[in-house]
A and B are shown apart, each in its own frame.
Chain A
Amino acid sequence: MSEMYVSGQSGIGRLIEALAERGHRVIGPVVRNQALVYDEIEGVEDLPKGWTDLQEPGKYRLERRGDEKLFGYVVGPSSWKQYLNPPEEVLWSGTIGPDGFQTDPPPEPPLYAFFGVRPCELAALAILDNVYTTTDGVPTFGGYTATREKAFIVAVNCSDPGGNCFCVSMDTGPTAKAGYDISITEVAHSGNMRYLLSSGSAAGAEVLAGLGGLDEASSDEIEAGDAVLARAAEMMGRELDTNDLPDLLKGNVLNPRWASVGDRCLACANCTMVCPTCFCNTVDDNLSLDGTHATRTRKWDSCFTLGFSYMHGQPMREAVSSRYRQWITHKLSSWVDQFGEMGCVGCGRCITWCPVGIDITHEAGAIRRGDLRDTHITVGGHSS
């Protein structure tokens, strides 16, 4: 195990500044429009100190915590995929001439530091890597690979899981296991905030060593950190029984439950936009007025749209129920066939941001239990 350091909030500030000095654009959680989103941060004062997020199916609200915690919340509507795999990105552009066309040189990939990556989000990054990696070494989307390789990752373990979190079920949290350069655990000690920092890579170790003003953590402090995370694991808002789930969903293609969820689902695609692992995309072509310069743009797409499955002018998945089935079956079943793991990390975003509060854990559970219909689901998800 790497060395564990401890600091106060000033150490966190110095870490953000050190990353900026090394040339990284540091992206972290900030409060915007009454939500916690990811955006550029310059110092510790940009972090959502003292805020927490109340999450329920179809419901999200920021509240004051009444303490000074920097990380006393979980994940909001944004996820890191928007930086690695932006909602809209030029795939390539080029000019046509007498000898064919010449592609323009691709832009320099940005040098990011992702600050405050939650354990479930680390797992989501690993899932995206798996999707975008090919066996022959030629990158799929050049932009993703180049940006991802250079990004510095500061993980933050979760001390205050949210109402829609189920990372324990998915074995992705609340403690980061791998995939970070530096990890942070926030420990509240009688109103005093302490931060345990450890490195997960050579680059992380170098940054920590250069930070200055950090103390070596005592065994008591390390224990206090472990206790915070052990308690967090007991605080999951939801649960998903993944036992045999892939086969269970495969064997229930014709279950009438799909019609019930299809009746509620608005096919708005919110769930796929906020999901940190949903990767579906489409392309758009543009031609300059003189017809000499073309641009291909990749854009997020969603299996919930009617056009997604268009072929010869006909949608293959016309019923909304077939689109919901496609989505949840992909996440929890066919993803395993395709990539050897599930495509869900238990972050709860899709539950929170669904306008009608459809809950992936509840729907998978209903298939398992054989519940055909819910008699008392309301927006906000309270069933009484």
Chain B
Amino acid sequence: MQTVTNPAVIDQMTPVPFRVRSVREELSHTFTLELEPPNGAFEFLPGQFTMVYAFGIGEVPISISSSSSNQGTILQTIRRTGAVTHALGHLKSGDYVGIRGPYGVPWPMDEIKGRDLLIIGGGIGLAPLRPAIYHALENRDDYERVVVLYGTRTPNEILFEEELGKWGARTDCTTMVTVDAADRGWNGAVGVVTRLIGRVGFDAANTTALVCGPEIMMTVTAERLMEVHSMAPENIYITMERNMKCAIGVCGHCQFGAKFICTDGAVFPYPEVEELFDVKGV
């Protein structure tokens, strides 16, 4: 996946320093780094990820959350969960991170031209979907309907809230947000994101679903799309998450059945991973 325009690498395990241009707090545990590639351009496709390295602390796989048409800087939206992501959270503008990538199979934006897009995100899962949404809206004529459904825990945890509002205000993009638990100020939908699916109404044969969120949310969503809405499994794409140490298929950590999540995914057509979902400890 390393393209020629991207910074030269010694070997695939050696990161390239990217300068932090800005840091933006998104939610209480989530922030976005804006990063500058050293030679001014970084090519990637919607849904791809990089390995982000905090100097001397460690490396984590993070999906790119910005538009793939903007190569000058990239955005990576990160949740503080462990030592590395906490270290990344302490970075200030002018600091450096190490980047390897981009890696992984992108969302199938070319293959699904001409179709209706049903983009379903849960929690921080909206971050890897955002480049797909940008792509669809920037190339709006390439797609028929564009629907964005987003579910999160509480009204305080709505990622990219402002943008969701903007997308919702467009006449050519249907956007709906739901929360698991509402508070007094909330007058939107309450309940899991799958409940929104029935409300939008769509043409199953002409729709492709891109789904990203916690594993359980994705399986429930996929099952509902297939069982209740008669969608063909091959029209559903999800992302898989596993422990990753290398992102290039050589550390063995991310194996899921015969797949390397890092190089065969992280985006998968549902049939490729479906049968292993129910087996414990694969």
Q: Which residues of chain A in 276-298 are interfacial with respect to chain B, using CB atoms and an 8 Å cutoff?
A: 279-283, 285-288, 291, 293-294, 296, 298
Nearest B residue (CB) for A262: B281
Say yes or no: A134-B17 contact (C-beta < 8 A), given A96-B96, A253-B282, A280-B251: no
- The answer to whether A326 touches B14 (Cβ under 8 A) is no
Does A62 reach chain B (CB closer than 8 Å)?
no
Say yes or no: A136-B2 contact (C-beta < 8 A), given A254-B279, A338-B260: yes
Say yes or no: A140-B56 contact (C-beta < 8 A), given A281-B245, A301-B252: no
Cβ of A280: which chain B residues have Cβ within 8 Å of it? 251-253
Q: How far is the CB of A290 from chain B (nearest CB, A)?
A: 11
Q: How far is the CB of A231 from chain B (nearest CB, A)?
A: 38
Q: How far is the CB of B163 from chain A (nearest CB, A)?
A: 26
- The answer to whether A139 touches B281 (Cβ under 8 A) is no
- Among the stretches A201-209, A233-241, A303-311, A354-362, the one at the interface with B is A303-311
- The answer to whether A318 touches B281 (Cβ under 8 A) is yes
Cβ of A287: which chain B residues have Cβ within 8 Å of it? 55-57
Nearest B residue (CB) for A317: B281
CA distance A217 to B281 in the complex (A): 57
- Among the stretches A151-159, A165-173, A175-183, A329-337, the one at the interface with B is A329-337
Does B58 reach chain A (CB closer than 8 Å)?
yes
- The answer to whether B281 touches A333 (Cβ under 8 A) is no
Q: Which residues of chain A in 332-355 are interfacial with respect to chain B, using CB atoms and an 8 Å cutoff?
A: 333-334, 337-338
Does B12 reach chain A (CB closer than 8 Å)?
yes
- The answer to whether B38 touches A100 (Cβ under 8 A) is yes
Nearest B residue (CB) for A310: B243
Cβ of A291: which chain B residues have Cβ within 8 Å of it? 56
- The answer to whether B11 touches A141 (Cβ under 8 A) is yes
Say yes or no: A298-B96 contact (C-beta < 8 A), given A280-B252, A282-B253: no
CA distance A156 to B210 in the complex (A): 55
- The answer to whether B252 touches A281 (Cβ under 8 A) is yes
Which residue in B12, B13, B252 is a CB contact (below 8 Å) of A303? Answer: B252
For B1-26 the 0/1 string (1 means CB < 8 A from A) is 01000000111111001010000000
Cβ of B58: which chain A residues have Cβ within 8 Å of it? 283, 285
- The answer to whether A322 touches B280 (Cβ under 8 A) is yes
Cβ of B251: which chain A residues have Cβ within 8 Å of it? 280-283, 301
- The answer to whether B253 touches A92 (Cβ under 8 A) is no
Cβ of A283: which chain B residues have Cβ within 8 Å of it? 58-59, 245-246, 251
Q: How far is the CB of A92 from chain B (nearest CB, A)?
A: 5
Q: How far is the CB of B256 from chain A (nearest CB, A)?
A: 9
Say yes or no: A309-B96 contact (C-beta < 8 A), given A142-B11, A282-B253: no
Say yes or no: A101-B98 contact (C-beta < 8 A), given A92-B14, A333-B258: yes
Q: Which residues of chain B in 199-258 are interfacial with respect to chain A, using CB atoms and an 8 Å cutoff?
A: 241-243, 245-246, 248-253, 255, 257-258
Does B139 reach chain A (CB closer than 8 Å)?
no
- The answer to whether B258 touches A140 (Cβ under 8 A) is no
Cβ of B241: which chain A residues have Cβ within 8 Å of it? 311
Q: Which residues of chain A in 80-125 are interfacial with respect to chain B, using CB atoms and an 8 Å cutoff?
A: 91-92, 96, 100-101, 103, 106
CA distance A350 to B198 in the complex (A): 54
Does B81 reach chain A (CB closer than 8 Å)?
yes
Cβ of A136: which chain B residues have Cβ within 8 Å of it? 2
Does A376 reach chain B (CB closer than 8 Å)?
no
- The answer to whether B17 touches A101 (Cβ under 8 A) is yes
Q: How far is the CB of B181 from chain A (nearest CB, A)?
A: 21
- The answer to whether B245 touches A140 (Cβ under 8 A) is no
For B35-63 the 0/1 string (1 means CB < 8 A from A) is 00010000000000000000111110000
Nearest B residue (CB) for A145: B11
Interface centre among A138, A145, A303, A337 (most CB of B within 10 A): A138
- The answer to whether A138 touches B98 (Cβ under 8 A) is no
Cβ of B9: which chain A residues have Cβ within 8 Å of it? 138
- The answer to whether A138 touches B2 (Cβ under 8 A) is yes
Nearest A residue (CB) for B9: A138
Nearest A residue (CB) for B244: A311
CA distance A309 to B96 in the complex (A): 29
- The answer to whether A279 touches B10 (Cβ under 8 A) is no
- The answer to whether B59 touches A103 (Cβ under 8 A) is no
CA distance A90 to B249 in the complex (A): 19
Nearest A residue (CB) for B260: A338
CA distance A145 to B281 in the complex (A): 33
- The answer to whether A308 touches B253 (Cβ under 8 A) is yes
Q: How far is the CB of A118 from chain B (nearest CB, A)?
A: 24
Cβ of A338: which chain B residues have Cβ within 8 Å of it? 249, 258, 260
Cβ of A296: which chain B residues have Cβ within 8 Å of it? 13, 59
Cβ of A131: which chain B residues have Cβ within 8 Å of it? 249-250
Instruction: With A92-B14, A279-B250, A337-B258 given, name 13 new contacts (CB 8 A).
Output: A91-B13, A100-B38, A103-B10, A136-B2, A138-B9, A139-B11, A139-B12, A140-B13, A142-B11, A254-B279, A281-B245, A288-B56, A294-B55
30 contacts between A and B (CB under 8 A): A92-B10, A92-B13, A96-B55, A101-B96, A101-B98, A103-B10, A131-B249, A134-B12, A138-B12, A140-B250, A253-B279, A279-B250, A280-B253, A281-B252, A285-B56, A286-B56, A287-B55, A287-B56, A301-B252, A303-B252, A308-B253, A309-B242, A309-B253, A311-B243, A316-B242, A316-B281, A316-B282, A322-B281, A330-B255, A338-B249
Across the A-B interface, the 4 shortest Cβ-Cβ residue pairs: A322-B281, A287-B56, A100-B17, A280-B252
A residues neighboring B (CB under 8 Å): 91-92, 96, 100-101, 103, 106, 131-132, 134, 136, 138-142, 145, 250, 253-254, 279-283, 285-288, 291, 293-294, 296, 298, 301, 303, 308-312, 316-319, 321-323, 325-326, 330, 333-334, 337-338
